[in-house]
Amino acid sequence: MHSLFNLSGKTFLVTGASSGIGRQCAITISECGGKLIISGRNSERLNETFAKLSGDGHQRVIADLTTDESIEKLADELPQLNGLVHCAGITAPIPVRFIRSRHIDDMMRINYHAPVLLTTRILSKKKLINNSSIVFFSTIATKFPYYGGSIYISSKSALSGFSMVLALELAPKGIRSNCLLPGFVRTPMYEATEQHASPEAMKKFEMLHPLGIGNPEDVAGPVCFLLSDAARWITGINIPLGGSL
Ligand SMILES: NC(=O)c1ccc[n+]([C@@H]2O[C@H](COP(=O)([O-])OP(=O)(O)OC[C@H]3O[C@@H](n4cnc5c(N)ncnc54)[C@H](OP(=O)(O)O)[C@@H]3O)[C@@H](O)[C@H]2O)c1
């Protein structure tokens, strides 16, 4: 492997590592030589991810990231890091006329507050070394909205905005912040969407993906690139994945 892409000697936190995209990101980062701290709520599924990691020296931390206390505790437990991959997130379709404040609170709490506050706590505790890389997850749905997606899309749009400002503020330290906007990726989240949406709606979504629906491996590659020195001149951008048109 070219040294620019090599993650050896570097340590990364991946949240949402007990499932889907986060799990595959952790596995691929470990295959590229990186050390991991993986986090999730479900210990059984987090252990399954842990067992699939290459190399040794990895750690796992069970954490529900919906409270300030748990975010503070996770940040305290972390070693010095070379990067963060914020995969933890939820979605739930709800038509606008049914929205109540608890729906907004629940979605924003994990999709926006958690990655924002975890990043700020890690920065305050000086756990992110210079020239690190931060990767956030938004969605291509911020460009191609769908019926019932208003709160999810709002939460992810807010995160994209945060990532751009963070990139500006951290540039003097060489720390980069970028946001990925995947199209549909086959994970438990995708399967849950399949159950709610009609076959016609799913077909319509699929048509927006000229390269077809993605797999977690299709996302993990770009994540490793963004974490690597090969991406050292890339910051503050929102990158669509899936060739969505
Ligand atoms: N799949 C797609 O089509 C797609 C497309 C665009 C963007 N994304 C984004 O990509 C990210 C990963 O999605 P995915 O498809 O991999 O979803 P997933 O398979 O449902 O996994 C979600 C992960 O988030 C964790 N999580 C949820 N609530 C949490 C909480 N309160 N505290 C801590 N962790 C929590 C889950 O942990 P537990 O399982 O342990 O509860 C799980 O590890 C999300 O941010 C999603 O919005 C996904």
| Cα(211)–Cα(222) distance, integer angstroms | 16
**CB 84 near ligand 1, within 6 Å:** no
pLDDT at 2: 77
- Mean pLDDT confidence for 19-38: 98
Distances (CA, A) of 126 to 79, 81, 172: 10, 9, 15
Non-local (6+) Cβ contacts of 190 within 8 A are 20, 184, 213
pLDDT, tens only, 123-133? 999 999 999 99
Ligand 1 atom nearest the C-alpha of 141 is 6
Work out the mean pLDDT of the chain and round it to a whole number.
96
Grouping H, G, I as helix, E, B as strand and the rest as coil, residue 209 is coil
Q: Annotated catalytic residue: which of 112, 146, 152, 190?
A: 152
- Mean pLDDT confidence for 163-186: 98
- Total domain count for the chain? 1
Ligand 1 center to residue 105 CA distance, Å? 17
| Cα(23)–Cα(29) distance, integer angstroms | 10
Residue 159 has pLDDT above 70, yes or no: yes
Residue 124's CB is within 10 A of a number of other CB atoms, namely 10
Residue 190 annotated to the active site? no
pLDDT, tens only, 81-98? 999 999 999 999 999 999
> CA 112 from chain center: how many Å?
11
CATH number at residue 172: 3.40.50.720
Taking alpha carbons only, the member of 184, 174, 186 closest to residue 234 is 174
Q: Global pTM?
A: 0.98
Strands (E), the chain: 11-15, 35-40, 59-62, 81-86, 128-137, 176-182, 238-241
pLDDT, tens only, 54-90? 999 999 999 999 999 999 999 999 999 999 999 999 9
**CB 87 near ligand 1, within 6 Å:** yes
**CB 116 near ligand 1, within 6 Å:** no
**CB 16 near ligand 1, within 6 Å:** yes
- Tell me which residue has its CA closest to atom 1 in ligand 1: 185
Ligand 1 atom nearest the C-alpha of 70 is 32
Domain range holding 11?
A: 3-241
**For the chain, what's the residue count?**
245
> CA 3 from chain center: how many Å?
25
- Mean pLDDT confidence for 14-28: 98
Ligand 1 pocket mutation pick from 65, 85, 90 by most atoms within 8 angstroms of CB: 90
Place of tokens 């720390």: 175
